[in-house]
Amino acid sequence: MEIEELNTAHQQAFLAFVRDLELHDPETYQRHFARKKPWSEWEFDVFLKDCANEKLDWRPGARKVSLTRYVLGTPDHAVAAFALLRFPLDAQSERDGGNLEVAVAPALRRQGYGSYTLSRLLFQAVRAGLRRALCTCPESSPAARRVIEKNRGELQTIDSNICRYWIDFR
């Protein structure tokens, strides 16, 4: 299994993933996938176009932030996890989000998909030229903290119930 950039081939699996989050993890749904219009095949196409516009060259210009979205598929062609690579950091992402974010389908949690997805996302971060990556998670989420720590995350601070971890690339 490998992470892939989100594309049209993921449409049905991605829509099922988003519905699962909407029903079973509304907080993650609101953070990444809340839209003005309900999700549909047409809305997925709009989201995909937005993703293409937000993905900039490996060296975004001044005051520009590149966002690349990935999915991890399962052998039965479902979306197990969603991943976001953001660089360089801006003021908001330094406070909440960091360079890397991973969301695992609620039905597939506690099976190693989060750790695996983050490890593959780290590879993409190195390819993008990052020397280190910031990951954040709620202090109240021991599972998210374990995922980051399994991938060499070193706790920097806990501020306003948000844990900030840096992962250095060696």
Q: For residue range 29-51, what is the model confidence (pLDDT) as tens digits?
A: 998 899 999 999 999 999 999 98
| Integer Rg of the chain from CA | 15
121 in any annotated domain: yes
CB of 152 within 8 A of CB of 108? no
CATH number at residue 55: 3.40.630.30
How many domains does the chain contain in total? 1
27 in any annotated domain: yes
43 in any annotated domain: yes
Residue 10 DSSP label: G
- How far CA 19 is from CA of 28, 93, 110, 147, 165, in Å, comes to 11, 26, 19, 24, 29
68 in any annotated domain: yes
CB of 67 within 8 A of CB of 51? yes
The residues, ordered by sequence, that sit 6+ positions from 129 with a Cβ below 8 Å of its Cβ are 58, 59
Residue 90 has pLDDT above 80, yes or no: no
141 in any annotated domain: no
Which tens digits make up the pLDDT trace of 68-89?
999 999 988 999 999 999 887 7
78 in any annotated domain: yes
Cis peptide before 75 (omega within 30 of 0): no
Task: Tell me whether residue 170 is exposed, middle or buried, using C-beta atoms within 10 angstroms of its C-beta: 0 to 12, 13 to 18, 19 or more.
Answer: exposed
Which tens digits make up the pLDDT trace of 118-136?
999 999 988 888 888 999 8
- Listed ranges 44-48, 92-96, 138-142; the one with the highest mean pLDDT: 44-48
154 in any annotated domain: no
CB of 162 within 8 A of CB of 169? no
45 in any annotated domain: yes
Residue-number span of the structural domain to which 55 is assigned: 3-130
The pTM for the full model equals: 0.88
